[in-house]
Amino acid sequence: MLVNIEDFRKKARKTLPRFVFDYVDGAADGGRCMQRNATDLADVELTPRVLRDTTRIDTSIEVFGRKWSLPFGIAPMGLNGLVRPGGDGMLAAAAARYGIPFALSTASNMRLEDVASVGEGVRWMQLYVMHRDMAGQIVQRAQHAGYEALVLTVDVPVSGNRELDLRNGFRVPFKPSLRLAWDVVTHPVWSLQTARAGAPDFANLTAGGGDAGSANMQAALLARAMDRSLVWDSLGWLRELWKGPLLLKGVLHAEDALIALDRGVDGLIVSNHGGRQHDASPSAIRALPRVVTAVKGRIPVFMDSGVRRGGDVVKALALGATAAFVGRPLLYGLAASGRAGAESVLGLLADELVRAMTLMGASSVSDLR
């Protein structure tokens, strides 16, 4: 019986080959930043209020003129198709069912147009900038396909030192080896699913949105070989291309939040990339209040990195976040049983959220603030 996110994690570990699970679950260097995310969230204390009417719990919020049924969404994650073929579409469908946003990664394994056609839902597009021309094409395609917000990830000037991936020889395209062959053979369910669908690739990396980008472009994306000349002045280039809300993901410093305000950014996501980039970075939950204080309510501030329970979402909201985004838990659910597993994870988080709000004496999200 899967009763919490850790149960889904254990199921994913059994289901996925080691090199895939390690890619999903791994972190930078010694994993201390990822551990701080968990420890610092666990250390946040919330003092309940009593004798309040919690007959009805309203978990909805409004963001950029759109109603969300719950104050959390699905964070952008790459290579979802490696966990489960068609994973991007499955996550988008699960998010639509629960009335929450799904952020599609530039490193998705489905074309952004195909994901946009999966049911009704709030779709955001995450952007990595490796080459300006390619990034510009993705932005224009996302605008045309109806994505409602653009999320520029700003904490990846270079890839974090992900030691598990190095040990496993993780790369795209995959390099055959006896170790890889044994890993695949000993996970037959995953192997059959992947064999039927074919090896995943980064489907958005050709100019016209073809089935696969060039090998060089795919390798650059996997290695996070980004355009390091991208600076604050570059936001003007994006503003010319993108007409909707523009958010920066990966902001941890209050002064960067103030610069973003000055540059007209519409929202911030406080994030350390789930501990996958800089091992010395502060936890997202510790950085959150500083960023919230800096912007003084002028733009929404979201957070991700380390959310494993609905109660973690409540903690983020109580510390000033507009909403939280959840990453790895959805991939654990996807590995366990596809779209049904992802929906089970969302249902679990929603139930925990409602219970935590009730115990806090909060009948609405605004009560938590």
φ, ψ for residue 160, nearest 5 deg: -65, 160
Taking alpha carbons only, the member of 228, 292, 290, 298 closest to residue 263 is 298
Query: DSSP letter at 334?
Result: H
Query: DSSP letter at 15?
Result: H
φ, ψ for residue 212, nearest 5 deg: -155, 150
C-alpha span between 331 and 353 (Å, rounded)? 20
Q: Are strands 61-63 and 66-68 parallel, antiparallel or unpaired?
A: antiparallel
* CB neighbours of residue 79 within 10 Å: 23
C-alpha span between 250 and 265 (Å, rounded)? 13
Label residue 254 exposed, middle or buried (CB < 10 Å: 0-12, 13-18, 19+): middle
Which one from 131, 144, 187, 273 is the annotated catalytic residue?
273
Residue 278 designated active-site: no
Radius of gyration of the chain (CA): 20
φ, ψ for residue 153, nearest 5 deg: -80, 125
Which residues have a catalytic role annotated? 273
